[in-house]
Structure 1
Amino acid sequence: METCKKVRSKKLSTRVDLTAMVSVSFLLIIFFMVTTELAKPKILDLNQGDNGCCDCPRYPEGYGENRSLTILLGENNKLVYFVGLVASPIKEPQKTIYGKDGIRKELLLRNKSLLAYSAKLGKPKRGIVVIIKPSKKSNYGNLVDILDEMKITGINSYAIVDEFTPEESKLLTAK
């Protein structure tokens, strides 16, 4: 008579090693934290003024033109600015450069003098209003450079306008 041996299955360990799973999960957490930080948009805060205030101060004649400084951006990093209206400017159009010895110096001087003048009139914090006009031939980097200058100089009143008058176009094409 043959003896029947029962084949018993080998008992496997019920313990699972999670070391690899923990390191993979930490790597995934770090990856998603880095990618969400890099995916956040980098924006420049653009302050826009009120469009209809009823308590606007009354300033002397010509004060509005004195407050406006127009910057024209042309091709090959050309930068021309003038104060007032292009037909009758308070300060004649001048070509300048980007940076601390160029447009930044002019912006700081104009803004400081106008802030002092408006403080004498009893309405402090009324500095210059900058009108930025990039031409179709200017590059995007020039616009970013000018917006950086607005941030550095602390000028919050500025507008980006894409319309040129014929006189302004002549200023950019002149040598």
Structure 2
Amino acid sequence: MAAEVGGDSGAPKKGKKAGKARKPKKRPRIDMTPMVDLGFLLLTFFVLTTTMSTPNTMPVVVPPKITEKDEVEPPKIAEGKVITLLVGRGKVYYYTGIENPEMHSTDFSPKTGIRKVLLDRRREVKERYGKEDEMIVIIKMLEEAFYKDFVDILDEMAIIQQKKYALVDITPEEKELVEEYRNKMK
């Protein structure tokens, strides 16, 4: 006789009766319904979160460059309505008015930073001119400023709902004013 691989040796097993026919074992049935539900739940979650987190852009309307032949007279603005922001790397230098400006500095912190300065200035303008939306903010970027600083200052304009602001090139006189202020604060 040939030997069987994996079969019985023919000897009766302990605790079992010899010669009894065994029923073939049924494999357990796996219900895949919860897995399909979980798959659809994950798919729905990721589709919704990606559509909700689409990047938002803030519209910035920039007028065309004026050439020398156009000779457009700039609008007359009351000096008391204006605050000029000189945005540097993580720091904002600001002054009010045009004649003999007194330079100050702050940062982007929510409680004591540029937002508080702008809200205080808006309150002063409202007391003086009667309307809250009379304040005009002039934003000038220093060469050292990062793009993040530019986005942060525009975010502050959106947060305080400032409607009147202008993005203007910085003048050499203002650069000197910032340097003088920095030297004075050392």
Task: Give the TM-score, by structure 2 length.
Answer: 0.58
Partner of 1:80: 93
Query: What is the aligned residue count?
Result: 136
Q: Which runs of 5+ in 2 are unaligned?
A: 1-30, 62-75
The answer on 1:35 being equivalent to 2:45 is: no
Structure number having the greater strand percentage: 1
Work out which of the residue numbers 92, 99, 109 in structure 1 matches 2:102: 92
Partner of 2:177: 171
Shift of 1:83: 1.2
Identity percentage over the alignment? Answer: 34
Larger Rg: 2
Q: Is the 8 A contact 1:132 1:159 kept in 2?
A: yes
Task: Give the TM-score, by structure 1 length.
Answer: 0.61
Partner of 1:158: 165
Partner of 1:51: none
Distance in 2, matches of 1:101 and 1:130, equals 18
Structure 2 counterpart of 1:74, one-letter code: G
Structure 2 counterpart of 1:170, one-letter code: E
Q: Which runs of 5+ in 1 are unaligned?
A: 1-16, 49-61
CA RMSD, aligned part only? Answer: 3.0
Shift of 1:43: 3.3
The one of the two structures with greater contact order (alpha-carbon pairs below 8 A, sep at least 6) is 1
Shift of 1:73: 1.2
Structure 2 counterpart of 1:42, one-letter code: N
Post-superposition, which runs of at least 4 consecutive aligned residues in structure 1 deviate over 6 A? none
Distance in 2, matches of 1:149 and 1:21, equals 46
Q: Give the stretch that moved more between structures: 24-33 or 126-135.
A: 24-33
Work out which of the residue numbers 128, 132, 142 in structure 1 matches 2:139: 132
Q: Is the 8 A contact 1:104 1:153 kept in 2?
A: yes
Cα distance, 1:27–1:133 mapped onto 2, change above 3 Å: same
1:84-141 C-alpha deviation (Å, 9 max, x unpaired): 22xx24x41222333332433332222112112222xxxx344311111112310123
Distance in 2, matches of 1:111 and 1:71, equals 14
Q: Is the 8 A contact 1:112 1:127 kept in 2?
A: no
Distance in 2, matches of 1:27 and 1:167, equals 58
